[in-house]
Structure 1
Amino acid sequence: MQIKMVAFEPMNEIHINEVKILEDLLKSIDKNENLKEKFEIFFEDVKNHFAFEEEQMKKYNFFAFLPHKMEHDKIVNQLNEVSKHLDDTLYLKKYFNETFIPWLINHIETIDTVTAGFLNMVTKQ
């Protein structure tokens, strides 16, 4: 899976790592192996990813903090629901391929790009 690089390197590192973890989870879904373990690793990574971005946005008083955080909260809520369906590989494939991956690509290309540009600017001062 290819993702867009943004102007704030710590975010790129987090995104690249998350994609690796996601790809590992998708392999586990295909094989129907270690789903609980792989999902927990992925979900923890997502929460850490969001916490890092939210901490940076708060620290530098990012103007669009609330809508960005609301997007994160929406995904955390979805993943909480997904966690109840770890025995259903069709459900998992559908969620990740039709909901999460398109959301992640769009999120990085839009609000993360804006956030990264802002963070890049304010951390260089």
Structure 2
Amino acid sequence: MPYVDLSQLPDLPLPFMNRDHAEEFRLLEELGQALAAHGDGKGAVESILERLAVLAVHTREHFLHEEAVMRETGFPAYLPHKTEHDRVLAEMDAEASAFRRSGDAARLRRYLLEVVPRWFVSHTSSMDVVTAGFVAARAAPR
């Protein structure tokens, strides 16, 4: 059974956003597998840390790409959308730091496989739907 379900995300009119979202869920799935292996005594903490780093880089790039397109098209709700991205990045960084300090894999698992996907579906279904509709109406998708 997968840890995250990509089918919960709406299909947006901007292919780059759909690709970024699919990759985000793929990386979360890999983290779920690494956390499960660690919990079963078959996986190393280093594997979790490596996947966390890859997720952090991808999430930043994903958000930066969206933000650049919003700025280029003059999206009126750019600031609230970017503020939400910034909040989530700070939260993700804090949870990764807490894991590096404490090694609390259960806490990290709850955050990454419950909180993040729930937020992601909500964010995509609201802010990203509006953003993608606005951008698609004004610019050729990338």
Q: TM-score, normalised by structure 1?
A: 0.94
Number of residue-to-residue matches in the alignment: 124
The corresponding residue for 1:78 is 91
Structure 1 CA distance for aligned equivalents of residues 49 and 113 of structure 2: 18
Q: Any residues of structure 2 matched to 1:46-85 within 5 Å, and which? A: 46-84=59-97, 85=99
Identity of aligned residues (%): 27
Where 2:49 maps in the other structure, the secondary structure is helix
Amino acid at match of 1:11: M
User: What is the CA distance between 1:7 and its match in structure 2?
Assistant: 1.4
Structure 2 CA distance for aligned equivalents of residues 38 and 97 of structure 1: 14
Q: Deviations over 1:54-111 (max 9, x none)?
A: 0000111101001100110011100110111142110111112332111000001000
Residue pair 1:30, 1:89 contacting (<8 A) in 2 also: no
Q: Any residues of structure 2 matched to 1:81-100 within 5 Å, and which? A: 81-84=94-97, 85-86=99-100, 87-100=103-116
After TM superposition, what 4+ stretches of structure 1 lie above 2 angstroms from structure 2?
none
Structure 2 CA distance for aligned equivalents of residues 69 and 119 of structure 1: 15
**Larger of the two Rg values belongs to structure:** 2
Q: Deviations over 1:34-73 (max 9, x none)?
A: 0100100011100000000000001111010011001100
Where 1:7 maps in the other structure, the secondary structure is coil
Amino acid at match of 1:80: D
Where 1:113 maps in the other structure, the secondary structure is helix
